[in-house]
A = this chain, B = another copy of it.
Amino acid sequence: MHDRTHPAPDITEADRIDRLRLIRSDNVGPRTFNALIAHFGNARAALEHLPELARRGGASRSGRICSEEQARAEIAAGQKIGVTLTAPDEAAYPPRLATLEDAPPLLGIRGVREVMLRPIIAIVGSRNASGAGLKFAGQLARDLGDAGFIVISGLARGIDQAAHRATIESGTVAVLAGGHDKIYPPEHGDLLAALLDHGGAISEMPLGHVPRAHDFPRRNRLISGASLGVVVIEAAHRSGSLITARMAAEQGREVFAVPGSPLDPRAAGTNDLIKQGAALVTEASDVINAIQPILARPVVLEAREDDDAPLDFEIDPNVRGRIVALLGPSPISLDDLIRMSGLSPALVRTVLLELELAGRLERHGGGLVTLI
């Protein structure tokens, strides 16, 4: 059972180095990376324009641009521990993850690369899960593994590790919030080593990156993005697993939730998800039956609304000022900026890109931006 519909060619090593330099340069995230590539044609050309764009965005000091040496060093260090940096247009990249508009431009893949191409189901939940929750997570993961699915999760304590442990033999993927050499929590190093025999680990972060609080929600979009659907087992109100569920819904992935007693606070989040329309799960067939029709359809790129408008660097300085004046610490959407400024989407997008490269713009969920 494979989840990729067509093979993809590898990119050249020179292109890989250029892409790595671009995504590792200051203020370049996946969306900006994609916008730059779309405009300049390739990473090399985009790199050459970075300083100018940042200056036009009002950078007080020049942002750091990743050097060729640094990129080569990261690739070499990764190879030593079996990490290969893979682009969305390459064969080994998880195909559903590649469809995200904020897919990592280079994903560090470790372990059995073939599992990335199999149908993937995410199982996530509380770190401080109950005994029943842990037991059910293991049981569900095992049944999904037996049915040919790869189980993906976040290597966390609680539900995550139970799902991974139950699928060490059938194949499981750990998504890391830090670099491949900075495992969190540290005591799960053994679990990671064990699952690499028949499974894998992925990260978008450079080696040496110690995960911080805000890296976990960012990482969660990869868990949901790589999967056909996300099963949430035991989640309290406002827990990280609910962020993964929300991202899954935004990405068009199926959302499943395991119910629990109204008197159990660890079931409050999952019961709420079901009230909001998530499918109730008590056994693997609930997931498999819902997923089968999706699996039968080809993997398609999601609509990239933001990319509809090309960039336009022919900007009148007054125009830049008008957009900056509309920005502030309160989040505002691209659509509102276009409407309120009366300017073209291309101009607004370009100014936002410049501001971002200058380190003056922050992007939030739902396409909202704030000026820093």
A-side interface residues toward B, CB under 8 Å? 132, 135-136, 258-264, 267-268, 271, 274-275, 279-283, 286
Task: With both chains docked as a complex, state the minimum distance between the C-beta of A125 and any C-beta of chain B, in angstroms.
Answer: 13
Instruction: Choose one: B258, B261, B281; the contact of A132 (CB below 8 Å).
Output: B261
Chain B residues with CB under 8 A of A281: 262
Q: Of residues A258, A259, A264, A279, which shows the largest number of chain B Cβ atoms within 10 Å of its Cβ?
A: A259
Task: With both chains docked as a complex, state the minimum distance between the C-beta of A260 and any C-beta of chain B, in angstroms.
Answer: 5
Chain B residues with CB under 8 A of A135: 263
- Let me know if A136 and B262 touch, CB within 8 A: yes
Chain B residues with CB under 8 A of A279: 275
**A267 to B282 Cα, complex, angstroms:** 10
**A267 to B261 Cα, complex, angstroms:** 9
- Let me know if B262 and A283 touch, CB within 8 A: yes
- Let me know if A259 and B271 touch, CB within 8 A: yes
**A275 to B275 Cα, complex, angstroms:** 11
Instruction: Choose one: B132, B259, B261, B283; the contact of A136 (CB below 8 Å).
Output: B261
Task: With both chains docked as a complex, state the minimum distance between the C-beta of A368 and any C-beta of chain B, in angstroms.
Answer: 30
Chain B residues with CB under 8 A of A259: 259-262, 267, 271, 274, 280
Q: 11 interchain pairs (CB within 8 A)?
A: A132-B264, A258-B262, A259-B260, A259-B262, A259-B280, A260-B260, A262-B283, A271-B280, A271-B282, A275-B280, A275-B286
Q: Of residues A132, A280, A281, which shows the largest number of chain B Cβ atoms within 10 Å of its Cβ?
A: A280
Q: Pick the 10 closest A-B CB pairs, nearest first.
A: A259-B259, A262-B282, A132-B263, A274-B280, A271-B282, A260-B261, A275-B280, A132-B261, A259-B271, A136-B262
**Further contacts, 4 of them, CB under 8 A, given A135-B263, A136-B262:** A258-B262, A262-B281, A268-B282, A275-B282
**A67 to B47 Cα, complex, angstroms:** 102
Chain B residues with CB under 8 A of A268: 282
Nearest opposing residue in chain B for A130, CB measure: B261
